[in-house]
Amino acid sequence: MNIVDKHILHKDKTVRDALVRLDLIAPASIVFVVNEDNMLLGSLTDGDLRRGFIKGLGFEHNLLDFVQSNPIYIRENEFDLNKLDNFRKNNLKIIPIVNQDLCIIDILDFSLRSTLIPADAVLMAGGEGKRLRPLTNDTPKPLLRVGDKPIIEYNIDRLKEVGIRNMNLSINYLGDQLVDYFGDGSIKDINIKYVRETKPLGTIGSILLVEDFQHDDIIVMNSDLLTNIDFNDFFKTYKERNADMIVAATSYHVDVPYAVLEVNETNSVKSLKEKPRYTYYSNAGIYILKKSLLNMIPADQFFDITDLMDRVIEMNLSLVTYPINGYWLDIGKHEDFKKAQEDIKHIKL
């Protein structure tokens, strides 16, 4: 029984049926009463039934006599993340998602998904992982296990947790293993599709092989990263800055072991800094971009995402950065893989 079927009950069911269902799904004890078209008619909890019995209603009464007729719901693609944050802060745990006809199409359970980011995702998973050989001789790098599951699965699970339902995997090297492992995504209650390069297309070129995107914004990320980036805040920053593209960045520190002299154009010393530390920000391999930017990518050609960033800048469009304040590790070398095995024991992804 999927999450929608668990939480909906037809209006012609009995009060006893409702009690059985509420007991079955406890502690998430709320059901949404619908008609034959799955249209939302009201919500029902243990408390609603109890209050009905106190008023004199009984098991012989119609279920609609007990329901709350004005339940909170979310309209498909017509919500904002701040409102969802407020729902969660106000201890609302389960909310139906409806289409324009008020028919329930999904259920938001905050114990399973923290929010609903309206975006599609593309995970780049086609690299050979040459620097990790012999580990990648027979296994694609995204499927190398860190702790109890593959690297890429951490990223898929975290995207699912923020409400991303449509994910596309760009595969090449040993790509059939990824297809066999994840299938169509139904085991995780998401939709996974695959695109396969027939020749190297760079770090973003293969995105044009995706047949269709359901949303106007696309999250693109490398699949061989371990990170606990706050995707909700990442997406909200992208929207609040009205950006065309946002790139996550990780800090990189350079410690100079000597005193540094700062001089002007005539070599006169203006200041002296003793053993300074300089902080730079590096591309972390996670991006959000407007779907319209795909028009800048040449078809069937090698094209890196840094090339796209250059074009965005040249066109005077908005490219902004988002510093990752939490954990981030690019697993490119054996020492990175070893570090990941230790780190996963102490961090929550």
pLDDT digits over 30-69, tens only? Answer: 999 999 888 999 999 999 999 999 999 998 899 899 999 8
Contacts of 296 (CB under 8 A, 6+ apart): 308, 311, 312, 315
CB 125 within 8 A of CB 178: yes
Q: What is the pLDDT of residue 242?
A: 94
- Output the six-digit token pair for 51: 């209050």
Task: Place 1 in a pLDDT band, splitting at 50, 70 and 90.
Answer: low
**Residue 43 to residues 93, 194, 262, Cα–Cα distance (Å):** 13, 38, 68
- Output the six-digit token pair for 275: 């053993």
SS3 187: helix
CB 307 within 8 A of CB 207: no
Q: Which amino acid is it at 257?
A: P
Question: Hunting for tokens 């020492």 — which residue is that?
Answer: 335
The pLDDT of 244-260, averaged and rounded, is 84
Q: Which one is predicted more confidently, 120 or 273? A: 120
CA 85 – CA 89 distance, rounded (Å): 6
CB 14 within 8 A of CB 64: no
- For the cut 90, the answer to whether the pLDDT of residue 288 exceeds it is yes
Q: Which one is predicted more confidently, 18 or 348? A: 18
Contacts of 110 (CB under 8 A, 6+ apart): 87, 88, 92, 93, 94
**Which percentage of the chain shows pLDDT scores above 90?**
51
Q: Which one is predicted more confidently, 4 or 278? A: 4
Q: What domains does the chain contain, in order, with CATH numbers? A: 3-109 (3.10.580.10), 120-343 (3.90.550.10)
Contacts of 340 (CB under 8 A, 6+ apart): 146, 151, 226, 329, 331
Model pTM?
0.84
The pLDDT of 83-90, averaged and rounded, is 86
SS3 312: helix
